[in-house]
Amino acid sequence: QGLGWALNEEYIYDDNGVMENAGFLDYRVPVASDLPMIDTQIVEVPNPTHPYGVRGVGETPITAPLAATSNAVRDALG
């Protein structure tokens, strides 16, 4: 999800402010074949502040690809 935001997702509006790519056919989101192979490693660390030690996953994976892609472009272009 974060990689799509960084590389190819875009909101397009006309001159009247109406979104032109509001549907799945027009709004390009990456599919599995667009992504690199990812080596997932799960590290279990209990949450000491929760009664059951659980942690939420939430939207954490969204933030890292944006920063990583920005840094890669900056490193490549100077």
Block residue for tokens 């009247």: 16
What total number of domains does the chain contain?
1
Q: 33 in helix, strand or coil?
A: helix
pLDDT at 74 exceeding the cut of 80: yes
What dihedral angle (degrees, nearest 10) is formed by the CA atoms of 61, 30, 22, 9? Answer: 70
Domain coverage including residue 31: 2-77
pLDDT digits over 11-59, tens only? 899 999 999 998 888 888 888 888 788 787 887 889 899 999 888 776 6
Q: What predicted TM-score, i.e. pTM, was given to this entire model?
A: 0.46
Question: The domain spanning residue 44 has which CATH number?
Answer: 3.30.365.10
Identify the pLDDT of residue 60. 65
